[in-house]
Amino acid sequence: MKNPEGYWKANLRLLAGCLVVWFVCSFVLGIIFAEPLNAIQIGGYRLGFWFAQQGAIYVFLVLIFVYVSRMNRLDREFDVHED
């Protein structure tokens, strides 16, 4: 590996970004802003309730695929990928 510190910093930056997105969706939108979001309804369900019950799960699943894709690209960039 050419630059282990750079690889580790890029990995932590990606992980921190994923955690921030998940925190905002699950905690901020699902708990803190649940009451204002409940004024909006989608498919018969209040939006605050949806974020608390379903939205965080969907965002987590999308983040898994984003993380895998970005890590594969990062591994190729730093030449630590598996063939």
Q: Which domain holds residue 42?
A: 14-77
Is residue 43, in this structure, part of any structural domain at all? yes
Q: Is residue 9 part of a domain?
A: no
In a domain, 49, yes or no: yes
Q: Indicate the angle between helix axes 4-23 and 56-77, nearest 10 degrees.
A: 170
Decide if 2 is inside a domain. no
- Which pLDDT band, with edges at 50, 70 and 90, does 76 fall under? very high
Position 41, amino acid: Q
Number of domain units in the chain: 1
- How does pLDDT run across 56-68, given as a tens digit for each residue? 899 999 999 999 9
* Predicted TM-score of the model (pTM): 0.81
Please check whether residue 3 lies inside any domain of the structure.
Answer: no
pLDDT tens-place string over residues 19-34: 999 999 888 988 899 9
Instruction: Label residue 42 exposed, middle or buried (CB < 10 Å: 0-12, 13-18, 19+).
Output: exposed
The answer, yes or no, to whether residue 83 has pLDDT greater than 80, is: no
